[in-house]
């Protein structure tokens, strides 16, 4: 339901929340689409939605449907690399949210130049315009800026490996440890870290008001793409969409290097609530870097595959394969130069203290919601795409 006619909403300190004009760069993506929904359904804020594609927010943009928020969202189709309109849109706004990025691991290895340009060079004008126009910036970074944990350098059976200070990732304390230069997988993390440092420097030297978001595996409907259906056939999305694609096609799930890496996953709707709090509580959010994840939803990638197989069998009514997973090497899957972090567990102290945010959704529930959506959205399309042509006489 739209927020029109609702009582005055208050921030965490009891102050009335004034409507904002938000320039959202990357509004047409997974995170952007859920954030646009949140802002249209529950607030009176306006959005200047900037992206090349609008597929995932088209349901919010169709004026013929008579949505009560129609006047509060405008789509601007532009590529921020080379469009002079961007500066004008930032000047029209109160707040800029930059979600634009190349952020799929398969690209870090095969397209390192595009990855660096997208995540650092293309973000420079956004930071510059915000600083020059005195506009607040919420910039989306990544948990990959932490790189490898300190614990991964200890011997395999070392007792300190399980001590939190050797693997828990803290925004203002944990060092950023990357692999060697020939491991091009770190092109993404390095570019993201450098733009973080530039934003932080703009705040220190020129007074830029900013918040930096480090997402830890946000999961939910509309994440990534299914290769050959709504993305390139040769594309390799992130782990959840990769596994979803395998399940939809009745293929074994591919476990890279045995699926031993440990990850945490957070439901997109929980994570969007955290961003909503940042938007509406600038005095609490400004100048902070925020981990946004769910440390309670920690599994190995192999365990994730096993859970997804069980859940997909439940939501689809289809039996699982006799051999549901297959091991592949990282070189086979990603190519030469791949490297990985062993474990990513976010410390949640800062976001809890500043914004009172905690995630709510269990891993099982978020996977069931996501796989129900994936099955409903893609199962028939995949059947049609993979159906063999009828034999002709």
Could you list the active site residues? 188
Domain assignment present for residue 239? The answer is: yes
| Segments forming the whole domain that contains residue 367 | 101-381
* 148: alpha, beta or left? (left if phi > 0; alpha if psi -120 to 50): beta
Check if the beta carbon of residue 18 is closer than 8 Å to that of residue 281: no
pLDDT at 353: 98
Q: Is residue 375 part of a domain?
A: yes
Query: Has residue 16 been placed in a domain?
Result: no
| Position 118 in a domain | yes
Q: Consecutive sets of 10 residues in the chain, 393 residues long: mean pLDDT of each?
A: 65 97 96 97 97 93 77 94 92 97 81 94 97 98 93 86 87 93 92 98 98 96 76 69 90 90 94 98 98 96 95 94 88 76 90 98 96 90 71 45
In a domain, 9, yes or no: no
Tens digit of pLDDT for each residue in 320-375? 998 899 998 887 877 776 777 778 899 999 999 999 999 999 999 999 999 999 99
Domain count, the chain: 1
Residue 393 is predicted with a pLDDT of 42
Give a yes or no: residue 77 inside a domain: no
Residue 182 lies in a domain: yes
Q: Return the number of other C-beta atoms located less than 10 Å from residue 83's C-beta.
A: 15
Residue 237 lies in a domain: yes
CA dihedral sign of residues 310, 312, 317, 318: negative
- In CATH, what number is assigned to the domain containing residue 321? 3.40.50.720
């Amino acid at each position: 339901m739209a927020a029109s006619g609702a009582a005055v909403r208050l921030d965490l300190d009891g102050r009335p929340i004034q409507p904002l004009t938000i320039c959202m760069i990357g509004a047409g993506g997974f995170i952007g689409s859920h954030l646009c929904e949140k802002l249209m359904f529950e607030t009176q804020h306006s959005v200047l939605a900037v992206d090349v594609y609008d597929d995932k927010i088209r349901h919010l943009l169709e004026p013929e449907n008579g949505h009560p928020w129609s006047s509060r969202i405008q789509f601007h189709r532009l590529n921020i690399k080379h469009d002079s309109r961007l500066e004008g849109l930032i000047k029209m706004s109160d707040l800029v949210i930059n979600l634009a990025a190349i952020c799929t691991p398969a690209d870090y290895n095969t397209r390192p130049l595009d990855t660096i340009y997208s995540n650092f060079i293309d973000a420079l004008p956004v930071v510059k315009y915000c600083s020059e126009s005195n506009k607040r910036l919420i910039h989306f970074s990544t948990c990959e800026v932490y790189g490898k944990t300190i614990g991964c350098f200890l011997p395999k059976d070392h007792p300190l490996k399980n001590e939190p200070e050797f693997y828990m990732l803290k925004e203002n304390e944990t060092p950023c440890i990357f692999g060697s230069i020939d491991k091009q997988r770190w092109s993404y993390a390095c570019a993201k870290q450098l733009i973080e440092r530039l934003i932080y420097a703009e705040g220190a030297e020129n007074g830029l008001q900013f918040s930096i978001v480090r997402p830890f595996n946000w999961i939910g409907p509309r994440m990534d793409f299914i290769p050959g259906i709504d993305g390139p056939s040769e594309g390799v999305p992130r782990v959840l969409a990769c596994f979803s694609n395998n399940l939809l096609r009745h293929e074994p799930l591919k476990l890279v290097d045995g699926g031993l890496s440990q990850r945490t996953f957070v439901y997109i709707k929980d994570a969007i609530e955290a961003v909503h709090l940042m938007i509406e509580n600038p005095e609490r959010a400004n100048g902070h870097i925020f981990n946004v994840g769910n440390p309670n939803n920690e599994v190995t990638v192999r365990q994730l595959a096993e859970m997804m197989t069980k859940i997909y069998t439940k939501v689809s009514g289809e039996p699982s394969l006799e051999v549901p997973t297959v091991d592949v090497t990282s070189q086979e899957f990603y190519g030469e130069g791949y490297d990985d972090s062993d474990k990513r567990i976010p410390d949640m102290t800062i976001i809890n203290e500043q914004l009172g945010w905690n995630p709510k959704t269990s891993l099982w529930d978020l996977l069931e919601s996501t796989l129900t959506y994936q099955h409903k959205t893609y199962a028939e399309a995949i059947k049609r795409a993979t159906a063999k042509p009828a034999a002709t006489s």
